[in-house]
Amino acid sequence: MSEIRFDGRVAVVTGAGAGLGRAHALELARRGARVIVNDLGGSVAGEGASSNAAEAVVEEIGAAGGDAIADGADVTDETQVAAMVTKALDAWGRVDILINNAGILRDKTFAKMELADFRSVLEVHLWGSVLCTKAVWGHMREREYGRIVFTTSSSGLYGNFGQSNYGAAKMGVAGLMKTLHLEGAKSNIRVNALAPVASTRMTKDLFPEEAFALFAPEKVTPGVIYLVSDDAPSQTILAAGGGGFAVARVVETRGAALRGDALSAEGVAANWDQICDPAGQEAFEAGGAQALKFMDLVAAKEGAD
């Protein structure tokens, strides 16, 4: 098996001062990439700012013989994000890889959550990912090469008590990934998402102490390295944790076609088991496939009648 290398490639990793982002940045650099190590340096809740974390990672990369630049851009600030990308282009002339990893937590039940906290989490995870991706998108299209990873979460894919803001943002980035895959394919831009389970400062209160080492961020990073490699897949949600890897998919059941008196709320209730039946369920690659499925389903029903 040949080693995956990034010699000559330039990567931007947001939220790279600690945890998952740091692990991603260090491994990319170890494999030859030049890295913009972005981190605002704030608290888990997104408060405050400091360049210390990003600069420490840059020092680690430099000590190992790699090449990196620290950046303190706030990913929710369009001007700062543009300056971050310009910094990479001025230094190295290109951006090949973007890993959208920056995030914050402001957990509370929906009943108790302030709307400002809901908005802040959406802005960092979803809007921040939009701004960073938009900043490199035109460049990647012109060069006909790009590898982009969004960081989603099981909280978005499946829900998690007390994380309505976080879950909404994380499902949002998964939907963004799906569409950008379609729009970037002709320009050789491959777009994927990572759903990690990792012991970081954002999750330290969620894991028992003995599980913390099991879910070290470094055990997730191999999946990200593959997702940004030359031979990467696209439109994939890769779940990863503790050295385990799986693919998460949004699937749709075959369903049931209703006609006549059955085309009613009562008919939906009466046919609920068939509507939910997982036999023949599919993972669609584009939204239009759903409409085509229903056309086929209805036509089949009419033919049978």
Per residue in 63-94, pLDDT (tens digit) is 999 999 999 999 999 999 999 999 999 999 99
Domain boundary among 226, 248, 270: 248
Pair (162, 300) in one structural domain:
no
Pair (207, 282) in one structural domain:
no
pLDDT (0 to 100) of residue 175: 97
Query: Rounded distance, CA 76 to CA 97, Å?
Result: 19
Span 7-44, pLDDT tens digits: 999 999 999 999 999 999 999 999 999 999 999 985 45
Pair (22, 71) in one structural domain:
yes
165 lies in some domain = yes
pLDDT (0 to 100) of residue 296: 86
pLDDT (0 to 100) of residue 299: 84
Contact 40, 102 (CB under 8 A): yes
Contact 5, 29 (CB under 8 A): no
Q: The domain containing residue 102 runs over which residues?
A: 10-248
The DSSP H or E segment spanning 80 is helix 78-92
Domain boundary among 248, 268, 293: 248
Pair (234, 279) in one structural domain:
no
Number of domains in the chain: 2
Pair (68, 99) in one structural domain:
yes
Pair (176, 276) in one structural domain:
no
Pair (51, 193) in one structural domain:
yes
Closest CA to 10 of 190, 191, 146: 146
- The one-letter code for the residue type at 24 is H
5 lies in some domain = no
Pair (181, 207) in one structural domain:
yes
Point out the catalytic residue in the list 145, 158, 166, 226. Answer: 166
32 lies in some domain = yes
CA 13, 44, 86 angle in degrees (round to 5)? 30
pLDDT (0 to 100) of residue 198: 80
Contact 103, 14 (CB under 8 A): no
Catalytic (active site) residue 166: yes
pLDDT (0 to 100) of residue 145: 98
pLDDT (0 to 100) of residue 208: 62
Pair (196, 280) in one structural domain:
no
84 lies in some domain = yes
255 lies in some domain = no
Pair (178, 297) in one structural domain:
no
2 lies in some domain = no
Domain boundary among 201, 221, 248: 248
Pair (144, 68) in one structural domain:
yes
3 lies in some domain = no
DSSP alpha helices (H): ranges in 93-239? Answer: 115-122, 128-143, 154-157, 164-184, 209-212, 221-227
CATH of the domain at 189: 3.40.50.720
Pair (65, 176) in one structural domain:
yes
20 lies in some domain = yes
Query: Rounded distance, CA 164 to CA 148, Å?
Result: 25
Q: Strands across the sheet with 146-151, in order?
A: 67-71, 34-38, 10-13, 97-100, 146-151, 189-197, 237-241, 244-248
Query: Rounded distance, CA 217 to CA 289, Å?
Result: 36
Parts of the chain with a pLDDT under 70: 42-49, 200-212, 301-305
